[in-house]
Amino acid sequence: MADSPASAEPPSAPPRTPPAADRPVYVIGAGPGGLAVAHELRARGLRAVVLERADRVGASWRRHYDRLRLHTTRRLSSLPGLPMPRRFGRWPARDDVVRYLEKYAEHHQLEIVTGVEVSRVEPLPDGGWLLRGSGGRELTGAAVVVATGHNHTPRLPDWPGRDTYTGEFLHAGDYRNAAPYTGRDVLVVGVGNTGAEIAVDLVEGGAARVRLAVRTAPHLLRRSTAGWPSQYTGVLVRRLPVGLVDRLARPVARISVPDLSAYGLPRPRTGLYSRVAEGAIPVQDAGLIAAVRSGRVEVVAAVEGFEDGKVLLADGEHIAPDVVLAATGYRRGLEPLVGHLGVLDDRGRPAVRGGRAPDGAPGLYFTGFTNPISGMLRELALDAERIARAVARHDAKGGSGPVSRLPR
C-alpha cells in the first residue's frame, strides 16, 4: 500500500473556515467501522477522509493476541463491497483480518491520512464541525463519524494496593502469546472472551499453572453446534424481547454446555440476553470448558486487591502468582473528544449510534461502540450504510453546507 491513498502525508492545516463546498466528511478511526463508512460515503459520491492516529489501518487488530480468531463467520464478517476470501476459512484469524482491512482500503481507494490524532470535536456556528488534531491541525468538515472503536483505552480496576504491587503485572492488551510465560504461574483476571482465550493459550503454551479469577460466572456458548454457528442464532433473536430470549437460551445451554459448578463456574442466574443488555457478552468456547474440566485452568475468586506482595481474593485467600494478567476490558475514551457536547450516557457510551445523530449535534455520528450477539463486524457493515444514508439526507437538506463531492 506504499503508493495508495492510505499512505498520504498529513496535510498542512487548512484555513479555519474553508468554503462550505470544500468540507468533506471526516471519519475518525481506520478500523473496520471507519473504513466501511468511508466506502459507503464514496459510493454515494461524497468525499470522506479517514483520520487515523496510528501509521496503518486496523491498528487495534494488529495489537490483539496471536491466537485470536473471529467468533463470527467469514461470510457474516465481510464489510460492504468486498467479501472476505474463502481461503480465510470459516473463522478468520487475526492476521487475515488485518490483511483484509489493508486490501479493503486499497480496493476502494479510500482517502486515509495516518499519524493524525483528533483530540476534540467542536460545532461551528454555520452547522459544520471543527476537528482539533495533533500538530496543531484544525480541520473543518460537513459531518463527523466517530469510529475510534470499542477497545480504545485499557481499563484497570482501582484495586487497593495495586500501585505498590511489585510483581509482574500487565493488561491483556499487552499479551501476544504464551512464550514469555512458559513454566510460570499466571493469574488471569476476568472471564470475558479475551480472558478465557488467553487462559487456554497459556495452558497450551506451557505455563506451569493458570488460574482464572472470576467475579461473575459468564454464560458459555459453543461457537458452533452441529455445524450451526451461535452467531446465526444471535442474528435470529436480535430483535426479540429480552425475556423471551432468556427463556429460550436456558434449555439450549443445558443441552450443549456441561454444568461446571463443581469447578467454580455455576450457571448464571441472570438470563443470557439480560446480561447482554447490561454489556456482558456470552463467552464463546475456544477450549475453556475442556481446560476447566481437566483442571488445567483453575477457577478462583475475584481479585479484591494486593497486600504484602500477594494478590488478595474475594474469599480471603492470598496467592502469589508469578504474573498477574488483567483481562478487564477497555474504556471507550470518548470524553476528551466529545464529552463536552452532551452526547454520551452515564457510562461514557454514545447516547445514540448508527444512522441517528444526537439531539443538538446534527451531522455527528458514532459506530462501533456496542458488542452485539449478532456480530460486531456484521453490525458495523449495517451501521455504515445507515450512516451514509443519513449523511446524504443531511447534505441534501443543506444542514452544514454541501459535502465535498468526488470528481466524476
Residues 6+ apart with CB under 8 A from 405: 45, 46, 47
Residue 383's pLDDT band (cuts 50, 70, 90): very high
What domains are defined for the chain?
A: 5-152+332-396 (3.50.50.60), 155-326 (3.50.50.60)
The cell for 223 is 461457537
Q: Give the per-residue pLDDT at 21.
A: 56
Higher pLDDT pick, 100 / 332? 100
CA 307-310-312 angle, to 5 degrees, is 65
**pLDDT tens, position by position, 106-153:** 999 999 999 999 999 999 998 899 999 998 999 999 999 999 987 778
b/e code 38-48 from CB counts within 10 Å (16+ = b) = bbbbbbbebbb
- Alpha-carbon distance of 355 to 382, in angstroms, equals 10
- Looking at residue 100, its pLDDT comes to 98
The conformation of residue 94, written as its DSSP 8-state character, comes to H
Among candidates 337, 385, 321, 392, which has minimal Cα distance to 363? 392
Of residues 13 and 69, more confidence is placed in 69
**Which residue intervals of 257-315 are DSSP H helices?**
272-277, 288-293
* 295 CB burial (10 A radius; 0-12, 13-18, 19+): exposed
Average pLDDT, stretch 234-249? 93
CA–CA separation, 35 and 104 (whole Å): 8
- What band does 394 get if pLDDT is binned at 50, 70 and 90? confident
pTM: 0.89
Rounded Cα–Cα distance for residues 395 and 335 (Å) = 27
